Amino acid sequence: MSDVAVSPGLIDRALRRVTSLWRDIASSAPAGEEGIAAQMRGCLDARGGEVSARSRAARLAQSYLAGDHAARGEFLRALAGFDSDHGAVAKAWEAVAAAADAEARATAKARLRRVLEPPRLRLLTQFTTLPDGVKFLVELRADLLARMKGDAMLQALEADLRGLLASWFDVGFLELRRIDWTSPAELLEKLVGYEAVHRIRTWRDLKNRLDSDRRCYAFFHPRMPDEPLIFVEVALVQGMAANVQGLLDEKAPLLDARQADTAVFYSINNCQRGLDGISFGNFLIKRVVDLLGAEFGKLECFATLSPIPGFRSWLEAKLDADDISLLTEDEAATLRAAAPPDLAIAAPDAEPARVVEETAPQTLRRLIARRGWARVEATSKSLEPILLRACARYLLAESGRDGKRARDPVAHFHLSNGARVERLNWRGDISEKGFRESCGLMVNYRYDPAKIEDYHEAYAGEGKRAASPAVRKLAKGFV
């Protein structure tokens, strides 16, 4: 949901396919200078007809694909260099300032807009004439995103490309398709490679996720018909799911989907790194809610079972700062009683033989750092109310740099889409990843079709975070 680790193998195979598709096209490009900048000038000069233009574009794209990391960087810097003509922009701006009336000003502004458009935009657009050219540009932006920090020219190039992709990938151009076990094997393989929330381990695992009581939907673009842009996995169940291991249990009995009363969105994955920042997720969820509601009349609840990826790192920072607001006095006493006796620490300026008693936050910090703490009943029981309350505070009260949006990226995604924080789940994800990211907690965000727009407007406008009374009670004193 947030950034997704894309399988390098998938990208490599896609680029090899592009290279083979373009080889014949590029072979008819006219001979000339071999430098990258010279090839780019040749493309901009647009000599010859449409076939020649496509050939030059294919040859230029192949130069990028054939290069190593350093050569691709030089390609991008050369491309960024085809910027607006400073002299022409200055002259056009002077004409705007000197315009005597509204009619002259409108004409001058139109001229200014034309000269402001950098030639590199025309170069980027030429790649769309090639088979898989749009996919090539998506991968080009992924490369840019990884390189552009501290480089103003690459940042400007990325902004141009982002603007093009945002218009080309408007949700009105996208197709929503269901993926099931009968889908092409190549597409199923991509599903496995792109799944980053709950890794698909085997083909049997994949088949379970695509069974009759499950649904998987993805957005596709007509110029990338075999490449999912984003997909969501849904479980049709009775009652709101509280544990992801149970939800994905391959041995669990198959439910008649017509008897389900709840649709649980348990994994949402962005597939194309080069489309980061171009949002489809809010449209995807709303479309799927409408589809499922129409297909299954008994569905009363649409909710997620979501990770809380930033919770543990936030919590540890608070504990390292000795934040005593995380525990009540009674909890601190209970915690000390539950803690193993080896948790006394040496005073920083004391002789080795002298020790001081830990503070309660220090004890909590050390307890959650111990492997297997959740399997110790006394420890788990003492930590449950503390961690649940801290997590509610994290989701409802903690903000990012702007002071308004939720600090947790997954929380921000769902709250901005019009969901509310419905329930926190103790031991919701007992995998190693679950404990590493969120001390094993997961959260249900609920999508109420009647309130989605109200919740979205309240969060987007005033930063108000919708939450159930139970979760809001846990965060009492902080919200």
Catalytic residue among 55, 63, 267, 306: 306
456 noted as active-site residue: no
User: For 294-387, where are the E strands, in sequence order?
Assistant: 301-304, 345-346, 355-356
DSSP state of 221: B
User: For 249-358, where are the E strands, in sequence order?
Assistant: 262-270, 301-304, 345-346, 355-356
Catalytic residue among 382, 414, 438, 456: 414
Q: If DSSP codes are grouped into helix, strand and coil, which group holds residue 467?
A: strand
Please name the residues in contact with 240: beta carbons below 8 A apart, sequence gap of 6 or more.
262, 264, 301, 303, 305, 422, 423, 444, 446
405, amino acid identity = R
Query: What's the rounded Cα separation, in Å, for the pair 238 and 16?
Result: 45
Query: What's the rounded Cα separation, in Å, for the pair 432 and 245?
Result: 12
> 190-193 long-range CB contacts below 8 Å, 24 or more apart?
190/10, 190/226, 190/227, 190/228, 190/271, 191/216, 191/228, 191/231, 193/6, 193/7, 193/9, 193/10
401, amino acid identity = R
306 noted as active-site residue: yes
**Pairing status of strand 301-304 against strand 262-270:** parallel
Positions annotated as catalytic residues are: 306, 414
